[in-house]
């Protein structure tokens, strides 16, 4: 799915990508991943200040912790998918 040249250039970890498929990720993680990808491909982005939360992960190069909570991910309680899963377990 990823060109070998991109894997080499970006130091993409296929293990991280596979692991993160089963982890709690957010749009902020995707945003950080895309910003980092564009920085590498287009040097002009590296000079601009883009606001990325400190708790966001680059999904290509970092593994999201398995115990990441909605609070850790910046997800408000009303939108926490973990609560939906717990409700299903009790039904």
**Residue 28 in tokens:** 């902020």
Residues of the chain with pLDDT under 50: 47, 90-91
**Residue 24 in tokens:** 């709690």
pTM: 0.76
Res 90: pLDDT: 46
Place of tokens 């596979």: 18
Return all residues near 59 (Cβ < 8 A) that are at least 6 apart.
16, 17, 20, 25, 29, 30, 32, 33
Q: How far apart, in whole angstroms, are the C-alpha atoms of residue 19 and residue 60?
A: 10
Res 91: pLDDT: 45
Res 4: pLDDT: 78
Res 70: pLDDT: 93
Res 50: pLDDT: 75
Res 35: pLDDT: 87
**Residue 86 in tokens:** 């717990």
């Amino acid at each position: 799915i990823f060109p070998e040249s991109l894997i080499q250039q970006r130091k993409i970890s296929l293990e991280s990508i596979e692991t993160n498929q089963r982890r709690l990720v957010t749009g902020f993680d995707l945003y950080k991943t895309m910003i980092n990808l564009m920085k590498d491909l287009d040097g002009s982005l590296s000079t601009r200040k883009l606001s990325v939360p400190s708790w966001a992960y680059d999904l290509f190069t970092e593994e999201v912790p398995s115990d990441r909570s909605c609070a850790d991910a910046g997800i408000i309680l009303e939108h926490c998918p973990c609560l939906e899963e717990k409700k299903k377990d009790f039904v």
